[in-house]
Amino acid sequence: MSPPTHGGPDALGVPAHDLSTNANACGPYAPAVQALRVADARHYPDPAYTALTVQLAAWHGVAPARIVLAASGSEFIQRISVAVALQAPGARVWLPAHAYGDYARAAQAAGLARVDHPTDAALLWACDPSSPLGQPHAGLADQVAALRRGQALVLDQAYEPLRLAGALALDAAAQDRVWRLVTPNKALGLTGVRAAYAIAPRGADAALLARLHALAPSWPVGAHGVALLQAWATVDAHDWLQDCRATLRGWKARQIDLLQAAGWRVAASAANFLVAAGADGAGVEGRFGLNPLLTALRAQGIKLRDCASFGLPGRVRMAVVAPAVQDALMAALDDVTRKDMA
């Protein structure tokens, strides 16, 4: 199995301008930063995470027994894939056509064969807004309505707090039928802190829920992860996020205008990131290929995300960023273009 492809820091270190992850460009959330500074890392957290679980459950209006803490969103993806495989030998998985690569990697590691139709799968994945396109998950409401006993649909909500347009096409009753995976570090602008949780469906399969707990390591979330999740589940954090979304909408409109003026084709997106491709004969990618472009930009301190690993070759995903970073991106693109033409 090939190593995973991710955005963010690489062998060259932290890029000066990193557009390759989907972190909130308005962040980090200052109260969370302060909470991390004072987190007591001298001691283990409560192994049962009693106070944190109660806080998260109250925030979402669910019973504490429905909260499953995880070391990260990726760790939960691995854990539920293994749990489903152990629960039902021969179980299969359904994945969206373009999705976060860890869904497929976890399924392969767990021995879950991929199927083309959701009705044939024991484990189904959805992400809304989706990655990498930032679009609604097509047919989500119908998929949820069609769920049968023994099927588990996980709705990855990593980008829900950064949705800039539209709304999730599931009412409260439908949301209660799925596993909801919540990873707040992107929304809070603190992707280096790895902590997440899932909300089990109402009346979740008790055996699957018990297996998920049994598969968890001791203390999956450290003191800093606890601090992050505690800062997340507050009114103040979500008031701040509401202001962020307003700012990001303006930044996004400006970024799209700049890219389109430079000849780039930009796909529709409801989130704080977008997928784009250089126009043939106008964009840099059309002249000398995407990888050389990304390499040239990286040398100038700018990193974009190659979408080939998502099944979208020839395109890049980039986060919505502040105007100063947008200007740096466009200047670098112009510089690379002029050097290629020289």
The per-residue pLDDT for range 143-159, each reduced to its tens digit, is: 999 999 999 999 999 99
The per-residue pLDDT for range 82-122, each reduced to its tens digit, is: 999 999 999 999 999 999 999 999 999 999 999 999 999 99
| Six-digit token string for 5 | 């492809």
Note whether 200 and 242 are same-domain residues: no
pLDDT at 286: 45
Note whether 118 and 206 are same-domain residues: yes
Residue 135 covered by a domain = yes
Residue 267 covered by a domain = yes
Reported as a pLDDT band with limits 50, 70 and 90, residue 337 is: confident
CA distance 273 to 169: 20
**CATH code of the domain in which 210 resides:** 3.40.640.10
Residues near 230 by beta carbon (within 8 Å), at least 6 away in sequence: 35, 52, 55
Residue 6 covered by a domain = no
Note whether 46 and 63 are same-domain residues: yes
Residue 198 covered by a domain = yes
Is a pLDDT exceeding 50 seen at residue 175?
yes
Reported as a pLDDT band with limits 50, 70 and 90, residue 268 is: very high
**Tell me, what DSSP letter sits at residue 6?**
-
CA distance 335 to 342: 11
Reported as a pLDDT band with limits 50, 70 and 90, residue 292 is: confident
Domain encompassing residue 207:
31-233
Note whether 214 and 100 are same-domain residues: yes
Nearest CA to 72 among 80, 63, 64, 61?
80
CA distance 14 to 164: 27
Note whether 221 and 117 are same-domain residues: yes
* Residue 295, CA distances (Å) to 2, 290, 298 in order: 20, 9, 5
**CATH code of the domain in which 308 resides:** 3.90.1150.10
The per-residue pLDDT for range 42-75, each reduced to its tens digit, is: 999 999 999 999 999 999 999 999 999 999 999 9
Model pTM?
0.94
Q: How many CB atoms lie within 10 A of CB 12?
A: 10
Angle at CA of residue 150, ends 88 and 124, nearest 5°: 85
Residue 308 covered by a domain = yes
Note whether 226 and 244 are same-domain residues: no
CB neighbour class for 254 (10 Å; exposed up to 12, middle 13-18, buried from 19): middle
How many domains would you assign to the chain? 2
Three-state SS at 96: coil
Three-state SS at 3: coil
1 or 198, higher pLDDT: 198
CA distance 157 to 163: 10
Note whether 274 and 286 are same-domain residues: yes
Place of tokens 């840099």: 284
Question: What are the strands, taking DSSP E only, across 162-315?
Answer: 179-182, 196-199, 264-266, 273-278, 302-303, 305-306
Mean pLDDT, to the nearest integer, of 23-41? 98
Mean pLDDT of the chain: 93
